[in-house]
């Protein structure tokens, strides 16, 4: 079995798969992963920091600077981080919240006001994975569209609003939620041009709009559309701090000051007032700075890697239409657990295959620890 050191020396052999040595370009963007293990994780959106790694990183971030603690998420490093996020997204204000589930609900609750109907994607996290929190806790009536796809259209939105206006009892639509990328569609993105049509229509008709952009920074690395550009058409936007910024907890909700300046009261009412959030703020900002450029480097490695292994008879590569960092790789005529074990011996971590021997691989920053040549050689040697 080849070790990673042996793979480095043997990388030239991968040229038979049509690879170049250009993948080493990732070194142009420095990585903030010095305090995590050397594993190359082909699973998950983040670096997978272990407790000791998180503690070591936090300790290093606390050195040689005077830090100010927050008090129930108010002031201190949390306030500095909120200001940083607001400026990054081009919004007036940002609020630190313990989870995306709460961030999405509070956004819709605020935007809808007394207009209790809210249009949401049928496959959205809000509609499927929150235990009907918006309905039970905020008295919102969620109307699902696009039941089996990522994008609903302006025409579908207009049809709902016309039907609502024609009802015997007035019940106006107060907000529209769009989620992109869509988790239940393996990271597929919504149609951006259609999204801008919908948000423009909503703005003209006094309807609030919210982007569930939990993974929007990942989308930016694939599309070239900056996080600020994604946020611009929406009244509010949420993104996750733990999924790929490795903070362990917390979300950011950004928007207009008028909508958010008193949100800390609602946050407390819902039991979301953590006593201190400064550790998560420090770690998240550490990974946020330069993240999109670093992920672009990882994406480049992944594209070269996938192009190489799909030439090998043992692998079938299936890409997600309009997708982001998830790709399916099916293994032919090999034991999937033995294959995983061989990769693990080379510090390459992948999730388990399904019953069809299909793996779902995820691109994240740890791909920058290798090259496409090394990774393809590891995969082919694991089935040899």
- Residue 19's pLDDT is 43
Angle between helices 192-204 and 154-165 (to 10 degrees): 30
CATH 3.40.640.10, domain 67-288, yes or no: yes
| CATH 3.90.1150.10 segments of the chain | 4-55+291-382
Confidence (pTM): 0.91
Asked whether the predicted pLDDT for residue 2 surpasses 60, the reply is no
What mean pLDDT comes out for the span 273-301?
Answer: 97
- Residue 362's pLDDT is 98
- Residue 37's pLDDT is 79
CATH entry, 4-55+291-382, from 3.30.499.10, 2.40.50.140, 3.90.1150.10, 3.40.1310.30: 3.90.1150.10
DSSP 229-241: HHHTT-SEEEEES
Asked whether the predicted pLDDT for residue 231 surpasses 80, the reply is yes
- Residue 333's pLDDT is 86
Asked if 343 contacts 379 with a C-beta cutoff of 8 angstroms, the reply is yes
- Distances from the Cα of 256 to the Cα of 225, 259, 261, 264, 281, angstroms: 21, 5, 8, 14, 21
Percent of the chain clearing pLDDT 70 (strictly above): 92
If residue 331 lies in a helix (H) or strand (E), which one and from where to where? strand 326-331
- Residue 4's pLDDT is 40
The pLDDT-based confidence of 117 (bands split at 50, 70, 90) is very high
What mean pLDDT comes out for the span 279-308?
Answer: 98
What mean pLDDT comes out for the span 298-315?
Answer: 98
Lowest mean pLDDT among 22-26, 170-174, 376-380: 22-26
| CATH 3.40.640.10 segments of the chain | 67-288
The pLDDT-based confidence of 31 (bands split at 50, 70, 90) is low
Asked whether the predicted pLDDT for residue 171 surpasses 90, the reply is no
- Residue 6's pLDDT is 43
What number of CA atoms fall less than 13 Å from residue 18's CA on the CB side? 10
What is the residue-averaged pLDDT of the chain?
A: 92
């Amino acid at each position: 079995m080849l070790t990673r050191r042996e793979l480095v020396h043997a990388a030239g052999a991968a040229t038979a798969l049509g690879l170049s040595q250009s993948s080493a370009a990732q070194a142009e963007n420095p990585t903030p992963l010095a305090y995590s293990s050397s594993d190359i994780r082909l699973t998950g959106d983040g670096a997978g920091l272990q407790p000791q790694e998180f503690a070591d990183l936090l300790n290093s971030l606390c050195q040689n600077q005077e830090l100010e603690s927050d008090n129930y998420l108010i002031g201190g490093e949390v306030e500095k981080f909120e200001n940083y996020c607001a400026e990054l997204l081009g919004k007036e204000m940002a609020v630190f919240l313990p989870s995306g589930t709460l961030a999405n609900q509070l956004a819709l609750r605020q935007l809808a006001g007394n207009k209790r109907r809210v249009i949401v994607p049928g496959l959205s996290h809000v509609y499927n994975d929150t235990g009907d929190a918006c309905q039970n806790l905020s008295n919102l009536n969620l109307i699902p569209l696009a039941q089996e796809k990522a994008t609903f259209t302006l025409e579908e939105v207009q049809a709902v609003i016309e039907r609502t206006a024609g009802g015997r009892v007035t019940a106006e639509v107060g907000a529209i939620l769009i989620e992109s990328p869509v988790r239940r569609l393996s990271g597929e993105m919504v149609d951006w041009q259609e999204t801008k049509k919908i948000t423009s229509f909503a703005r003209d008709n006094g309807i609030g709009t919210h982007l569930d952009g939990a993974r929007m920074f990942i989308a930016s690395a694939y599309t070239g559309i900056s996080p600020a550009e994604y946020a611009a058409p929406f009244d509010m936007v949420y993104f996750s701090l733990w999924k790929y910024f490795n903070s362990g907890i917390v979300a950011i909700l950004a928007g207009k000051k008028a909508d958010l300046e008193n949100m800390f009261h609602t946050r407390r009412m819902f039991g979301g007032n953590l006593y201190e959030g400064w550790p998560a703020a420090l770690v998240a900002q550490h990974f946020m700075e330069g993240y999109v450029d670093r992920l672009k480097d990882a994406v480049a490695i992944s594209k070269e890697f996938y192009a190489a292994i799909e030439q090998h008879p043992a692998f079938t590569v299936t890409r997600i239409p309009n997708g982001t960092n998830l790709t399916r790789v099916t293994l032919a005529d090999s034991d999937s657990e033995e294959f995983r074990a061989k990769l693990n011996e080379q510090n390459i971590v992948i999730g388990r295959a399904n019953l069809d021997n299909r793996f779902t691989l995820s691109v994240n920053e740890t791909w920058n620890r290798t090259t496409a040549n090394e990774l393809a050689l590891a995969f082919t040697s694991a089935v040899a």
